[in-house]
Amino acid sequence: MCQKKNGQILCAVILIVVLALFLSSFAIINFIGFPKFCTFDMYEDTAYSMLAWEAKSIFPKDWVFGNQYYVVATPVLCALFYGLTGNINFAMALATMAMTLLVMLSMLFLIHPFTDKLGRLTGMAAMIGCMITANAVASLEGQLFYILASYYSCYLITVLIVMGDYLHALCFKNKRGFSAALILSMALCFTTGMQSLRITAVLILPVLATEILRILILLIRKEKNKIKRTWAVTLRALLYTFSNFLGAIFIKVLNVPNVTIYGSLSQRNLSSLKDAHEVNMRILKKITGFYYACTEENGWIYFILASFFTAIVILAAFLSLYRYIAERKKGKSGKKYLFGAINFSVFAISIAGLFAMNLVFDMNFRTPYLFIWYPFTAISCVVLLQYLKPGCWKIVGILLLCIGCIGNWYVGYAPAVQKTLEPYDANIYRKMSDYIVESGFSYVYGDICVTSPIAAYSNGQVLAASSFEKPLEILTYINPQGVYGEDENSKAVYIFYCGQNIDAEKYAEKIGASMTLIAEFEGGYYTLYTSDKQLMHYGEQPSESFLKS
């Protein structure tokens, strides 16, 4: 008994160390490394946050959204912290860390009634440690939840809260009434429905499908009395759906400007099915980690990690279904087995549905859309732990999981931490940013790939207002719109690279403007100018009706 208790204490300590390792790494990257790793997507989130706070609205006037709106996303929280601190980079780091803590609390809420203290620690460690990626700050999936701008953390929180409320109601009679968890679930479904259809695809429809499947099984087994006893569970699934659809309708009524960037829901041509299948396979390999076994040095490490976590998912799914069916044949319905079976059903339907959508619709299917794999993996770790007998096997299982998580940290976050802690940052963008700030400019015009990191290093002192691919042509979405007047021009510097200044000078001559070269960097590769007239302009595509669409 004493050895068993000592083993549990050891496991708890190791799990806490793993949690501390990841959380401290997230903090270092977010609070110190944000300017170093900031891409234009991340910077535009901070630009939105500044505009949102100034407008005191989540839909600021001079902002056109892309594929998703911001209602409960990280930039909204960042806007609040920016208002409190006045430091935009610090505000984004604080918002991202806050979302990370909310993810962990949401995971704890989901698994709390189904496992013990050790299992809860395991679930939280698995949730932040199960992602396999090469250098998280440079990979899109690595940026989803815990670092930099944490694009999808609000969706992950919604998945965990809604799944927790649904499972608690299904497994415990005393949790089927009207509750704070139900209100929160409906609110999250509504607000994420306003943002995009992501939660509809990955959670709402799979939960609804699982509930329909559960009812059909009960009808086949002629157990109508159980359907009546669990009507509150069915009602919950319907309320999630209603709230989510209502949010999607409400945002349309508000008519907030946006531009669809990635693909559409038009039907796919049969001739492109092979390409779609190849995309599915590539994304599946990437999300599970096998992709990196073929593309990175020390690929064997990625292969072992990918095999380990994929095996956990498969084994947990098999045991859950097998034990649940076996228990049902005996006339029992253990909560432990129902927990695993329902999780498998929802997440498997979600993943299969996304792959099927890509085969049917001509959409730009991207790795982040399969973010549901990560909570599936983390919950599978908890499920599998439940099936391990107390004692030696459970301790070994937890230790192996910790080793796997540390392996993911080593390949995913350690390189970023090391780069963040380098004593001197000789980044060219930092040099240009320092020059622009010291020269007293408030705006930087140019290509978004260059202006964004420059503005990020300025920490809010300079606002980037950008073009994309076509120099001087204003980017009409996810980019400030109302900053191209003559007053702003008098406080702005134009930046060009790779000979873009030649075309800019021709355009300036055409409109009767005079450009003045004020600085060169990297042997003239980057050139900085001022102009006596505004050079930034809209191209042929944008119009008043376009910006209101």
Domain-by-domain residue ranges, the chain? 2-420, 428-547
Helix-helix angle 180-195:231-254, to 10 degrees: 40
pLDDT score of 336: 72
Q: Is 530 helix (H, G, I), strand (E, B) or coil?
A: strand
Q: What is the pLDDT of residue 271?
A: 60
Structural Rg of the chain based on CA atoms: 26
Task: Tell me what pLDDT residue 89 has.
Answer: 95
Residues 193-203: b if buried by 16+ CB within 10 A, e if exposed: bbbbbbbbbbb
pLDDT classification of 135: cutoffs 50, 70, 90: confident
Task: pLDDT band for 3, please (50, 70, 90 cuts).
Answer: low
Please determine, for residue 545, whether its predicted confidence score (pLDDT) is greater than 90. Answer: no
Find, among 388, 292, 307, the residue nearest to 11 by Cα.
388
Average model confidence (pLDDT) for the chain?
Answer: 88
Mean pLDDT score, 485-505: 91
- For the cut 80, the answer to whether the pLDDT of residue 494 exceeds it is yes
Confidence of residue 546 (pLDDT cuts 50, 70, 90): very low
Share of the chain above pLDDT 70, in %: 93
What's residue 4's pLDDT?
63
Upper half-sphere CA count for residue 249 (Cβ side, 13 Å): 6
Which pLDDT band, with edges at 50, 70 and 90, does 388 fall under? confident
Average pLDDT over residues 255-259: 86
Please count the other Cβ atoms lying within 10 Å of the Cβ belonging to residue 250: 14
Tens-place pLDDT, residues 420-472: 998 776 789 999 999 999 999 999 999 999 999 999 999 999 999 999 888 88
User: Model confidence at 251, in pLDDT bands (50, 70, 90)?
Assistant: very high
Q: Give the residue from 160, 213, 129 showing the smallest Cα distance to 412.
A: 129
Phi, psi angle pair for 139, to nearest 5°: -115, 140
Query: Token digits for 111?
Result: 């698994």
Predicted TM-score (pTM) of this structure: 0.92
